[in-house]
Amino acid sequence: MSISKNLQTLSGHIAKAAEKSARDVPDINLIAVSKKQPIERIHEALAAGHRLFGENRVQEAQGRWADLRGKYPDLKLHLIGPLQTNKAKDAVALFDVIETVDREKLARVLAKEMDKQDRHLPCFIQVNTGDEVQKAGIAIAALEEFYQFCIQECGLNIIGLMCIPTADEPAALHFALLKKYANQLGLAHLSMGMSADFEKAIPLGATYIRVGTGVFGAREELRA
Ligand SMILES: *Cc1c(COP(=O)(O)O)cnc(C)c1O
């Protein structure tokens, strides 16, 4: 199946979910998650006119996107994977949006890098909605204080919240929680929903959905 076809099919599903929940289609942004995908597929998506992409590793993203950036000035790249502070400099230089701000040290380092590079990128706070040990994201109980820290102490431009639901619970539960917290904090954006569950995230207010396999097919690690 071709990637432009996949993108078309997805926009159809997005439009349908939007209509059902009385939402405007332009408010729902499809992030094509290109991690671990062969570069030809990325070229295909670009040729089809898609411009919004997500990557979860700084190094991998640098390797493929640093050049493409020059060719596609309207490209938007979201970092959706965990960020080590020693990669913050590269991340700020490459990405347009950082979705995974989840601890004080990282918030501080990012803020410093953004000042240095004069690139004040919009950010999301990643929330550990399942309160799982070992999982990325700020704990729910610490969210409000962390948000205040990010905006007041660091001056970060926090535009929304992001989550990855736990595998063993209904995703909608996590989406509803994330929406509730975003409302409480007065944040406009929600990054939630992947290939398997984006149709559930749309009625619950997703403004960014992150779809990988649904756009590109199976990743390298997944293919036999
Ligand atoms: C890989 C990834 C996705 C996309 O997952 P698919 O199931 O392929 O749609 C979305 N969000 C994050 C954070 C990811 O790492």
DSSP 21-85: TT--GGG-EEEEE-TT--HHHHHHHHHTT--EEEES-HHHHHHHHHHHHHH-TT-EEEE-S---G
Residues of the chain with pLDDT under 50: 223-224
Centroid of ligand 1 to alpha carbon of 57 (angstroms): 12
Tell the residue number behind the tokens 């979860």, with chain if given: 56
User: Bridge-partner residues for 30, per DSSP?
Assistant: 209
Phi and psi torsions of 178, nearest 5°: -60, -40
Q: What is the DSSP letter of 26?
A: G
d(CA 137, CA 102): 5
Please give all residues whose beta carbon lies within 6 A of any atom in ligand 1, as ranges: 33, 35, 56, 80-81, 164, 194-196, 210-214
Q: What is the pLDDT of residue 1?
A: 67
Q: What is the pLDDT of residue 135?
A: 85
What's this model's pTM, rounded to 2 decimal places? 0.96
Nearest C-alpha neighbor of 123 from the set 76, 75, 172, 158: 158
Question: How do the domains of the chain map onto residue ranges?
Answer: 3-223
Amino acid at 116: K
CA-closest residue to ligand 1 atom 10: 210
- Within its chain, how far is the Cα of 183 from the centroid? 18
Helix (H, G, I), strand (E, B) or coil at 50: coil
Q: What is the pLDDT of residue 133?
A: 82
DSSP 142-161: GHHHHHHIIIIIS--EEEEE
CATH fold label, 3-223: TIM Barrel (3.20.20)
Centroid of ligand 1 to alpha carbon of 80 (angstroms): 8
CA-closest residue to ligand 1 atom 13: 80
Q: Which of the listed residues 36, 210, 215, 223 should we mutate to test ligand 1's pocket, taking the one with most ligand atoms within 8 A of CB? A: 210
